[in-house]
Amino acid sequence: MGDAITNTSVLRVFDSLFSVAKQEIGYLRNCAENVDKLRSEVEKLKDMRGRFQQLSDAAKDKGENLLDGVQKWMDKADVQISNTNEFLEQEANAKKRFFNIQCFVNVATVHHYSKVATKKAISLLSLHEDGKAYENCVSIPTPTPGSLDLYHKKNLDGIQTQKLALENIIRAIKDEEIQIVGIYGLGGVGKTTLAVEAALAVKNLFADVFLITVSQNEDEMNQTHVEVAAKRINKGEKILIILDDMWPEVKLETLRIPYGADHMNCKILLTSRSKDVCMMHAQCSIRIDSLVEKEAWILFKRVVGERVDADPKLKEVAKNVCKECGGLPLIIQVVGNTLKVKSIDFWEASLDRLKNHSPLGIAPDIRKAYVHLKLSYDVLQSEEAKLCFLLSSLFPEDALIPVERLTHYAVGLGKLDAISNIKDARNIVQIAVDTLRSTFLLLDGNNEFTTKMHDVVRDVALIIASEDNTNFLVKGGIGLTYWWPRPDELKIYTRISLMQNSIFRIPDYKLHVPRLDTFLIQENHKLSMISDALIQGMIEVRILDMEHNNISSLPKSLKLLTELRVLNLGGNRFLREISILGELIKLEILILHTTGIEKIPEEIGQLANIRMLDIKCCSGLSHVATGVISNLRWLEELYIGYHLVKKRDNCLGELNTLQTLTFLDLFVPDFDIVPDDVNFGALKGFRIQIGGVEDVHISKYPYLLSKRILILCRSHATSPLLTHIRKLIEISDYLILEEIKDSLEADDGGWGRNILPDMYFEGFENVRRIIVSDCNLSCLVDTRNWDHNRSSSKGIDERNINEKFFSKLEVLALQDMHNLKVMWSCPDQYISLGNLVTVDISFCNKLVRLFSLSVAQGLVNMKELSIGYCQNLEEVITVGAGESAHILFPALVRLCLIGLRHLKHFCSGHSDVNYPSLIDVSIIHCGDMEIWGSGVHHTPKLKNVSLVPLNGPYAINDVIYQISRINTLKTVDAKADRYQGHDEMKISPRDAKYDRSLF
């Protein structure tokens, strides 16, 4: 028997060797054919790349965004085409050399070029297949600049003054003889509000609406937005442009927006405080008046609530307070929100203050607002809120203000009492900003991490600052090209802001600024030098922000700034030498991201008081001097991209010495740079990326700072890595796998086939949230060739396997998985999704079916299901022929299906499905959908349905009948690409890294 086994083994070896030999001989025999095939494949790829470029250019002309993955595909195609052309040139030269000069063929050379050509052809073919996913669509509509989507319509019931004005604006916009409509009135009277309300009312008449805030200097406007609008106008599209807050200094002719008799397809609605500006440009000017007393009272009561009607004494005081607001909606909202929870004694005291006149010397257009805004400022109980209010006025008019930047400045000024760490500072500042938003002293930005300030409020804030003996000089965003003050004219100022200009020349002489604590000169991209003399004049400064300039060297006098707490040099790409910063021993926040530094010198180790150090995205950073990290004994947050060359100089082992470190954002190109003994478990949060391209520093996303995120990129997700960082996987809250491109040819259950079960042996079973993006996987689980003996030796057997696969998973996101054919190739009993809450699947073009009946019945905690742009998906839930069952989704609240071109139905077969919690359903561009599913589909709480569009009235009626028969349904829109009465669904792929719903 032993001989038989031996013979069998020998035969297997022989067969294997024969197959290899046959393949190698094939390379010799078919060299010309293989090279020709490669040449053909590269031409096909060039053609596809050219088509993509045309589509991309057209999309950009329309102001659309490229789909996630399109630019990445084009970049890869460029690299592949370039490499292949270079190879083909080398092959042609070699052929000439060996066939024309010599009388024999170089066998090794032929074999080499044939084999490489074969592999390259396979790679090109794979890339060509990947590109097919984008052939029909490379872009998505971009939300209009200053998008109206997030705008909440105002209740104008009973506000006849504004209702009539709105009707006049709408009538003027519809008038074909009028091209430019002007709206003017006092600051805070509601000009922008009515302009947006009018635009919403008529947007169906236009291809698009652009809301563009005008700067006092037209060069500082967002020219990208203007250019997009101009291109579309020139193409004949009917466009409405809102130019908000026009100034007398701005000439409409210089904005480069096509208008006039040749461009009547362009309608312009402009707002201004100045009647003269409107009369100068508009064919029709409409004045917005303050509210009459009755209307003001209606609005005031909406702000403060019905409390004022319940107490006659309070009602009398409240009416008098309302009168003092002068009928300005902005002031009514600010004062109303300030007083609505206060006692009647406070109301009476405030009324006395409001009756006082504002100080002399205030511009007439803000005089009426001053006393009221000053009252709201004075009654703020939080000194931190007052500080953030004043700091916000340092930013340019209408600018987005990052809350994180306010945090840095507040820390630097030492105005946050009793903070023990940066995290506490963030919380305090966030609460302060929320307080200011609630009183309308600040407005919402484009997300919760940014805010804005109304221009009238900003004017008043600067006046308040001057009265508090903290004079601000603010010249941000006004188009300055140089700043050349007299040496003694700045001695009264405590804070100077010159940010977001085009300054290239600043003083090379000493200024007398003895009280200066803040100097902000960031985002002046032409500024290349800060002089020693200038620095010598501001030795008491605590905050110095020079981010995103063009500074290449630091002045020697920088060491004189012994009080400096915050220094931001990020984005100065040519800055390399930073040794002098070691002298700034009181520094608490040092930002050096995206600079040209290649090493962190030992002098930086002298910054013992540093709390936050950001050295991300410095692509040349390969050396950190020994002892630097361990000397930063008070360091709380470290953001570092570490492109280590000499691995024996690895500084990361010093992280264990930092007792106060709470968050680490780390990028390393190779997994073996991560030391085995670093105690990442002691951190409250981390984001560790191994391999791939270094990403933006995460401090812009504060909600992630308490998460533990591990990102494995490119080929850095193999078994040796998993073993090496098993402990890191075990403690991670999120595991993100990106661009894992192992071969799909192997059928051995390895990485090319599936993620599991191998990863379970390395701590993977504890991960609760998985995001997989652009990986070459054909399925997530494949147990067909699993060696059960191997599993048993690891402590896993068939009795508990069903408890292992996904049983703890809460979030599953799959994106750009172009080779994913099935979710798993194993019996359904091995899959447990009972804890799954969020499912997000997009751009998985080979998926045809998603969940089987038994798996779907286990989704008892799923709250959100989002599936987008899976071109071949036919059904979400598969019920076998002849099967009939009941399915319950007890927790499902939101269901979104977008761009599923071949989706036939949500549920196949005949099943009764109950959705007791479902509120929102969106079915967008699912053109083949005919029926939701056989059986009864019960949706007792369904409120909002978006259907855009389906194939014909029968399909629409069938789907509506099945998912929206309930009386509680508020809105069904199956007309076209319009949405009414509910939030608009954004038709765009998810960003796995920073989509907050996934975290």
DSSP codes joined into one string, 482-496? B----TTTTTTEEEE
pLDDT of residue 364: 67
69 φ, ψ to 5°?
105, -25
DSSP bridge partners of 180: 268
pLDDT of residue 957: 45
Lowest mean pLDDT among 429-433, 744-748, 763-767: 744-748
pLDDT confidence band for 978 (50 / 70 / 90): very low
Query: Number of C-alpha atoms within 13 angstroms, CB side, residue 464?
Result: 26
For 319-329, what is each residue's pLDDT tens digit?
Answer: 988 888 888 88
Lowest mean pLDDT among 125-139, 160-174, 648-662: 125-139
Q: What is the CATH superfamily name and number for domain 148-287?
A: P-loop containing nucleotide triphosphate hydrolases (3.40.50.300)
pLDDT of residue 104: 42
Lowest mean pLDDT among 26-35, 312-321, 785-794: 785-794
Handedness of CA 328, 329, 333, 339 (dihedral sign): positive
pLDDT winner (highest mean) among 28-42, 107-121, 523-537: 523-537
Query: In the chain, pLDDT over 70 holds for what percent of residues?
Result: 77
Assigned CATH topology for domain 380-468: Arc Repressor Mutant, subunit A (1.10.10)
Integer Cα distance of 942 and 963 in angstroms: 8
pLDDT of residue 357: 62
For 577-612, what is each residue's pLDDT tens digit?
Answer: 999 999 999 999 999 999 999 999 999 999 999 999
pTM of the prediction? 0.72
For 556-580, what is each residue's pLDDT tens digit?
Answer: 999 999 999 999 999 999 999 999 9
CA distances from 727 to 677, 681, 791, 999 (A): 10, 9, 20, 21
Does position 785 have pLDDT exceeding 70, yes or no? no
pLDDT confidence band for 784 (50 / 70 / 90): low
DSSP bridge partners of 268: 180, 241
Tell me if 841 sits within 8 A of 866, measured CB to CB.
Answer: yes
pLDDT of residue 20: 46
Lowest mean pLDDT among 82-91, 197-206, 571-580, 712-721: 712-721
Query: 967 burial class (0-12, 13-18, 19+ CB within 10 angstroms)?
Result: exposed
pLDDT of residue 629: 94
pLDDT confidence band for 550 (50 / 70 / 90): very high
875 φ, ψ to 5°?
-155, 150
pLDDT confidence band for 758 (50 / 70 / 90): low
Does position 750 have pLDDT exceeding 50, yes or no? no
Integer Cα distance of 596 and 619 in angstroms: 7
Integer Cα distance of 943 and 919 in angstroms: 5
Residues in the chain: 999
Long-range pairs for 470-474 at CB < 8 Å and ≥24 separation? 470/390, 470/494, 470/495, 471/495, 472/390, 472/393, 472/394, 472/496, 472/497, 473/497, 474/393, 474/394
For 260-273, what is each residue's pLDDT tens digit?
Answer: 888 899 999 999 88
718 φ, ψ to 5°?
-100, 170
Lowest mean pLDDT among 499-503, 537-541, 629-633, 927-931: 927-931
Lowest mean pLDDT among 40-44, 683-687, 978-982: 978-982
| DSSP state for residue 291 in the 8-state scheme | P
DSSP bridge partners of 922: 896, 946
pLDDT of residue 645: 67
pLDDT confidence band for 948 (50 / 70 / 90): low
Handedness of CA 989, 994, 997, 999 (dihedral sign): positive
Tell me if 744 sits within 8 A of 712, measured CB to CB.
Answer: no
CA distances from 723 to 717, 759, 761, 766, 839 (A): 10, 9, 9, 15, 28
pLDDT confidence band for 658 (50 / 70 / 90): very high
Comparing 203 with 133, which gets the higher pLDDT? Answer: 203
Comparing 960 with 290, which gets the higher pLDDT? Answer: 290
> Span 836-845, mean pLDDT?
92
Does position 759 have pLDDT exceeding 70, yes or no? no
pLDDT of residue 596: 93
Where is 921: in which H helix or E strand? strand 920-924
pLDDT of residue 671: 79
For 697-730, what is each residue's pLDDT tens digit?
Answer: 676 677 778 889 998 886 555 555 566 677 888 8
Where do the domains of the chain lie? 1-141, 148-287, 380-468, 823-968
pLDDT winner (highest mean) among 8-22, 29-43, 292-306: 292-306
pLDDT of residue 876: 93
For 362-417, what is each residue's pLDDT tens digit?
Answer: 776 677 788 888 888 988 888 999 999 999 999 998 889 999 999 999 999 998 87
Integer Cα distance of 632 and 604 in angstroms: 9
DSSP bridge partners of 689: 667, 711
- Tell me the CA end-to-end span of the chain in Å, nearest whole number: 59
